[in-house]
Structure 1
Amino acid sequence: MPFEFDPSRRRLLKTGASGAALAALTSLPGIGIAHAQAVKPLSFQLSWIKSIQYGGYFAGIENGSFKKYGVEPTFVSGGPNMDPVANVASGQSQIGDRPIGSIIVAKEKGIPVKVIGNVFQKSPYSVLSLAKTPIKTPKDLKGKTVAVSTSGKPLLLNLIIDAGLKPDDVNIVPSAPDPAALVSGQIDGYCGYVTNQGVMLKTRGVDIYAMNAQEFGLPETTGTIYGREDFLVANKDLVVAFLKGAVEAWRWSLANPEPTTKLMVEKYGAPGLNYQAQLTEIVESKPYIEAGAGSAKGMLALDMPLYQDIIDVYRKVGMVKTAMTAKELCDPSYIEAALAGLKS
């Protein structure tokens, strides 16, 4: 998920503000800077550039949630010009996060990765349009020009076909990270995240309508945590410890969006993050993170039937040709052990 980049509003780290944020971070009962103890390093490959979509992880560094369980993670920045899954598959990082589609495609190609947790239980992936000319249902796509990424194009085509339309009923064009073309009138719809590109538009004063793809039969997860299978098996205790820290950190982060945003804008995030956009993004992300298994089972939990539904959709659009199952794609034992350990 790309972030809002605004050099003119870059905020520098100020002693008073950062002190207040740190005080807030360490005030949560049961979470604070951990006592000195032996910790094990772990490299986590981010899918995108460091921004508020990873706020929970960086709050966990700041407040000691990870050290509490003996883990010292390093979060490696991603971006548009790299393949995060390849970095994990090659061992440059041990685990990482991606939208589920990229992981399914990698698994389909024989790359030995396994899903072990998930941040966004419901995907904020949507077809964004201007409120004055909204695209409210897939049928409304007829005759429209819609921008979509290469990886998202098969899913958009599935929406089109399921609506009883033909692919050539919609003018599909490549998307850019910034949805500005929607405002200029070059396109009628933009496939992206309402919590990200949608927030970009809202903070620019643009009224939008978001047609959530999952609500029209395209289930997806994002912020999906995965690792190489051999590493996961050989290091289960370390991985479970990381997930314990991540669960605590994300719980705190969602309950405390302002100090989390300060940390990302002033300390951990990429230069030029827009404070208001980042704050809006984490607030609007909360219901997507806490949806489904996130509330029924616990933060970062895996919903196996949901993953089977996702695989079935990818098979339907031709992106999966093997007999892949949710059990082959996911191993819920790691997050289940982490959540059970937090309850005990």
Structure 2
Amino acid sequence: MRLTRRTGWGAAAVGVAAALALTGCSSSSATESAATGTAGATAAATTAALTPVRLQLQWFTQAQFAGYYAALEQGFYKAEGLDVTIVEGGVDIVPQTVLADGSVDYAIAWVPKALASREQGAGITDVAQIFQRSGTLQVALAGSGITTAADLKGKKVGNWGYGNEFELFAGMTKAGLDPATDVTLVQQQFDMNALLSGEIDAAQAMTYNEFAQVLEATNPATGALYQPSDFSVIDWNTEGTAMLQDAIWANTEKLSSDKAYQDTTVKFIKASLEGWIYARDNPEAARDAVVAAGSQLGNSHQLWQTNEVNKLIWPSKAGIGMIDEAAWKQTVDVALTTKNDQGASVITKEPDAEAHTNEYVTKALAELTAEGVDVTGTTFAPLTVTLAAGGS
């Protein structure tokens, strides 16, 4: 089981060779050598018996993907007969494209972005919807008067672009605003500096990442870290324009024709769900698995992220990973009807029936339930996480 980085970001792995000097040969050393050789051969045979699987993430190593790292670290993939390699993402990686071209077996991607790729010919299918709720916010300073999409009128509004803007545009449109004339749109960097400096009135943020960044910064008015009460947020789940985000995507053609791949898909989903269940019940340990895997973010930031991601998953009434048809329809509707400042929508036609399926996650959930695993998390209670300066 391995972690692969697709970019040069982060520390490179360094191989260390140990020289063994033989000073003599006794019967005990010969026996030890033979035993070592036998153990090595057994380990190699065991690894060879596992099915190799490559999972492409959509971003760098962080607790957004805590469940997959936990499944790797806890041996859940291996228990299902899988030798999983997690492939790190980055700014230049489009996970659904990497999946479609056959470089990996599964990928993590937001639903609207993956649907756009599918419309352009990518043969991919959503087989498990991990995040049940959107984690995207629009954040403003408290006292700004910005608490709903309608309040953005006349304001300088930041957004990242790159397909991340459609919940915002849908929210403004639903509130009766014309994004082209009623607000001043500002291309935002993937940080919160423009908000804190006053360059923009409302900034795009993920609950588990950029919102933590403002809480890790010092408030010049108090000399202490900012607090949640220093900000107001627009939540697209509340506004009714939320779109489904992190899902497990599989190869459509192989799902339809390859029995071995179908079986592997059930096993991969099952072990991945076990990883997320572990992250739910052991958030600190899941955080540690992410940090050990090479995250460039600190311990408190990663615990915050694990906790906030858990809120996007749990409770999961129908079982973790099940695709809710109403949420899917809302995502498709927003993707079809909302236009950004370039006049483009995410997709131009309804996705076909093969774009998503609950077939494989249903089988995985049935196995977990039979094993006595809690797959709904109805009693889930989030932690109260104290962030440190800079997220350390």
- Give the TM-score normalised by the residue count of structure 1: 0.84
Contact kept, 8 Å, 1:117 with 1:302, in 2: the verdict is yes
| Residues 64 and 208 in structure 2, CA contact (< 8 A), matched pair in contact too | no
Shift of 1:134: 5.0
Partner of 1:277: 301
> Distance in 2 between the 1:213 and 1:147 partners?
15
Question: 8 Å contact 1:52–1:269 — kept in the other structure?
Answer: no
> Partner residue of 2:118?
107
* Equivalent residue runs for 1:298-309 within 5 Å: 298-309=319-330
- Which residue, out of 319, 328, 331, partners 1:310? 331
The 1:162/1:300 distance shift into structure 2, 3 A limit, reads same
- With CA pairs under 8 Å and 6+ residues apart, which has the higher RCO, 1 or 2? 1
The separation in 1 between residues aligned to 2:280 and 2:167, in whole angstroms, is 30
Please list, as runs of the form range in 1=range in 2, the aligned pairs for 1:1-344 lying within 5 A after superposition.
38-150=49-161, 151-167=163-179, 168-204=181-217, 205-206=225-226, 207-233=230-256, 234=258, 235-265=261-291, 267-270=292-295, 272-291=296-315, 295-317=316-338, 318-324=345-351, 327-344=353-370
- Measure how far apart 1:157 and its partner are: 2.2
Structure 2, unaligned stretches of length 5 or more? 1-10, 12-45, 218-224, 339-344, 371-392
Bigger shift: residues 226-235 or 142-151: 226-235
* Deviations, residues 314-335 of structure 1 (Å, cap 9, x unaligned): 111132222325x332011010
- Aligned-residue identity in percent: 27
Q: SS at the partner of 1:98?
A: strand
User: 2:43 maps to which residue?
Assistant: none
Partner of 2:38: none
- Structure 1 residues 224-266: Cα deviation after superposition (integer angstroms, max 9, x where no partner): 111221233321100100111111111011111111112222x
Preserved CA contact (<8 Å) 1:129 1:210: yes
Alpha-carbon distance in 2 for matches of 1:52, 1:69: 23
Q: Distance in 2 between matches of 1:120 and 1:224?
A: 7
Partners of 1:85 and 1:261 lie apart in 2 by 26
* Residues 172-210 of structure 1, C-alpha deviations (whole Å, 9 max, x = no match): 111211111110111111122122111111122233222
Segments of structure 1 that go 5 or more residues without pairing to the other structure are: 1-9, 11-35
SS of corresponding position for 2:263 = helix
Q: Which has the larger radius of gyration?
A: 2
Q: What is the distance in 1 between the residues matched to 2:282 and 2:304? A: 13
TM-score (norm 2): 0.74
Aligned length: 304
Cα deviation, residue 214, structure 1: 2.1
SS at match of 1:101: helix
Task: Tell me the distance in 2 between the aligned counterparts of 1:40 and 1:155.
Answer: 39
8 Å CA contact 2:273, 2:321 repeated in 1: yes
8 A Cα contact 2:112 2:346, kept in partner: no
State the distance in 2 between where 1:153 and 1:343 align: 38
Instruction: Report the Cα offset of residue 106 of structure 1.
Output: 0.9
Q: For 1:226 and 1:249, how far apart are their aligned partners in 2?
A: 17
Q: Is the 2:58–2:93 contact (alpha carbons within 8 Å) kept by the matching residues of 1?
A: no
